[in-house]
Structure 1
Amino acid sequence: MRSDIAKISIKENYNKKRRIKRGLFKSNKGILINADLNGAYQIVKKVFPKAFAEGIEGVGLHPVRVDV
């Protein structure tokens, strides 16, 4: 592992109550978010910090729940 790669930081003030159950988190605004989507979004923000500022075609920033 290269020394110049940023280490993953653990927030001291992480609120564990935001995890409703396995695979489900609650946002600061009270919106329920799938953990996989939340994780993918965080990875994209870390790897490409300016990705959403410049816009990426085909990326859904606000997934919508669909009942089938």
Structure 2
Amino acid sequence: MTSAKLLRIHFTQGFLMNLLFVNLLTDPSFISVDFFFYRFNKQVLFECVLGKLFREHKKDEKKFK
């Protein structure tokens, strides 16, 4: 796995966390419904990214065999 891919995951997670933090500061009622969806979406996004990286890794392995 290349460092660029890892950096992309790290950046995406940081961006989502910052977005959540800013929303909580500006609108405390935001946490009620949106926080659930945020957590759900973050999980889905994370699994999509991991799945994509895993598939690319498998493709790379086949090339070198």
Q: Which has the larger radius of gyration?
A: 2
Q: Which has the higher contact order (CA 8 A, sep 6+)?
A: 2
Higher strand residue share: 1
Relative to the length of structure 1, the TM-score reads: 0.39
Relative to the length of structure 2, the TM-score reads: 0.41
